[in-house]
Amino acid sequence: MPERFDANDEKPPATSSERWMLVVFSLILLGFFVADIAVNFQPIKLTALLFLLFWMPLVALHEAAHAVVAHALGWRVLKTVVGMGSVLGQWTIGGTSVELRMIPLVGFVRTVPTRIRQPNVENALIYFAGPGVELLLVAVIYAILGADLLRSSTDAWVITLQSLALAATVGGVLNLIPMPVREGDRSIPNDGLGIILSLLTPREQFEEMMKHRDEEAISEGRRSCRVGRFP
């Protein structure tokens, strides 16, 4: 169920110093990974690095799935945010504000219904779309690798797909475990809890949401919990 937020989730653009700090930190972290991999190199050592590298685009895929399903169901997508912290870039795609923030480990999508038909089921489907697309990706990888997905391998291609499947599984499963997450004085449902609460939300609440469709006025939102942390 979308929560009503009193706080504004707007973040200022990243400064030049913040951008440089992000670049330097990323290079240092990458250096540690490369150094560890280079010592007594074995293909299996690539797993941790690939997991981290895949996690970030999976966040974008996760949030895009929320937005695409919401749009397909006729809901208005007000904002899609990938990452937390200061804003690195902002675009408008199909009338939707899209933001990329400094640390792309989590994200959220803000939506609102444009008509009342089956809002409970539709909202639940929007919540499920994020983890659902990740689990669908795992199924596709399993169709490619078969039983090799769960077997130890020294083949770089197999290890790459295994790492992608692992990252997608962790992201999808964690999001489907129902739990509220505290952010300051507010409680935000993750996707799993959001699915359940969507089915229990009174119809009147969706009607109230429709009265405040403008992005500056509306305060309902959906946040995708990937590791129990939010921007």
**DSSP 8-state class, residue 39:** T
Average pLDDT over residues 135-154: 94
C-beta separation of 45 from 36 below 8 A: yes
Query: Angle at Cα 135 formed by Cα 122 and Cα 169, nearest 5°?
Result: 130
Give the separation between CA 63 and CA 68, rounded to whole angstroms: 9
Q: Residues with Cβ < 8 Å from 144, sequence gap 6 or more?
A: 161
Rounded to whole angstroms, how far apart are CA atoms 178 and 192?
4
DSSP 78-129: EEEEEEEEEEEEEEEETTEEEEEEEEEEEEEEEEE-SS-SSHHHHHHHHHHH
Q: Per-residue pLDDT averaged across 191-205, rounded?
A: 91
Whether 107 and 224 have beta carbons less than 8 Å apart is answered as yes
Query: What radius of gyration, in Å, describes the C-alpha atoms of the chain?
Result: 19
- The domain spans of the chain are 3-224
Residue 220 reports pLDDT greater than 50: no
| Cβ–Cβ under 8 Å, residues 115 and 67 | no
Looking at per-residue confidence, does 11 or 230 come out higher?
11
pLDDT of residue 44: 66
Residue 4: enclosing H or E segment and its boundaries?
Answer: strand 3-4
> Which amino acid type is present at position 93?
I
Q: Please provide the average confidence, as pLDDT, over all residues in the chain.
A: 79
pLDDT of residue 227: 30
Mean pLDDT, to the nearest integer, of 159-177? Answer: 94
The residue length of the chain stands at 231
Q: What is the pTM of this model?
A: 0.78
pLDDT at 18: 53
